[in-house]
């Protein structure tokens, strides 16, 4: 069972999302400010964090920076603003996905599952596969990549996209294929996730 950390100061929203996620088989922990959320995220007990941008004490962007400085755990950002600047900044700092509020608990849960599928692999993954393309070596089941033997620090989204490109080395890969295979969803008309990675 995967444990999800919800970091949001809106207790009503947290309650609604928690209830739905628990009904879908997740265990849920909550934090209502960025400082507590960062501390909980770095505790090692959560598979993914859902992080709101607008919070007291430390906003979501600063919380994301703090978590990313020490961890590669998957992070799904929530924002109440439709501003592209927040989304792009969050993605550039290492968020794996972004959802604009209001969103339904069903959509949020689907996005959590998609991120976890990409970052945790599936039971059908072949053990011990090594992808080598030029100076790049990838170990997909371990979520590790090296360039000339030096470890690469990649977000889970960056790793997913690089893996798709490595598996298709020497062949063109469309943005739609990258989105479907690397992000787990079709490319939307104004989706810039691939561009910022």
List pLDDT tens digits, range 128-171. Answer: 578 889 999 988 777 789 999 999 988 878 888 898 898 888 88
Q: What is the pTM of this model?
A: 0.63
Topology, domain 3-120: Rossmann fold (3.40.50)
Q: How far apart are CA 154 and CA 193, in angstroms?
A: 15
Under DSSP, is residue 60 helix (H, G, I), strand (E, B) or coil?
helix
Please report which confidence band the pLDDT of residue 193 belongs to, taking 50, 70 and 90 as the band edges.
Answer: low
CATH for the 131-196 domain, from 3.20.19.10, 1.10.10.10, 3.40.50.10800, 1.10.3720.10: 1.10.10.10
Q: What is the pLDDT of residues 43-98, one digit of tens each?
A: 888 999 999 998 878 899 999 999 988 888 999 999 887 677 777 888 888 899 98
- All structural domains of the chain with their residue ranges: 3-120, 131-196
Q: Which two tokens stand for residue 24?
A: 């879908």
Q: How far apart are CA 122 and CA 174, in angstroms?
A: 24
CA distances (Å), origin 12, targets 6, 16, 30, 60, 107: 12, 6, 12, 18, 18
Burial 114-138 (b: 16+ CB within 10 A, else e): bbbebbeeeeeeeeeeebeeeebbb
């Amino acid at each position: 069972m995967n444990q999800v950390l919800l970091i949001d100061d809106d207790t009503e929203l947290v309650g609604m999302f928690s209830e739905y996620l628990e009904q879908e088989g997740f265990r849920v922990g909550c934090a209502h400010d960025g400082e507590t959320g960062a501390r909980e995220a770095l505790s090692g007990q959560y598979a993914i964090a859902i992080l709101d941008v607008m919070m007291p004490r430390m906003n979501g962007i600063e919380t994301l920076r703090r978590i990313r400085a020490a961890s590669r755990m998957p992070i799904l950002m929530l924002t109440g603003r439709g501003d592209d600047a927040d989304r792009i900044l969050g993605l550039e700092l290492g968020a794996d996905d972004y959802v604009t509020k209001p969103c339904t608990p069903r959509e949020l849960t689907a996005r959590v599952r998609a991120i976890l599928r990409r970052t945790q692999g599936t039971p059908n993954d072949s053990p011990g596969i090594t992808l080598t393309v030029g100076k790049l070596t990838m170990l997909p089941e371990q979520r590790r990549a090296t360039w000339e033997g030096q470890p690469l620090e990649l977000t889970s989204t960056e790793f997913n996209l690089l893996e798709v490109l490595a598996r298709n080395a020497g062949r063109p890969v469309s943005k739609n294929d990258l989105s479907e295979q690397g992000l787990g969803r079709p490319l939307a008309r104004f989706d810039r996730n691939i561009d910022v990675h």
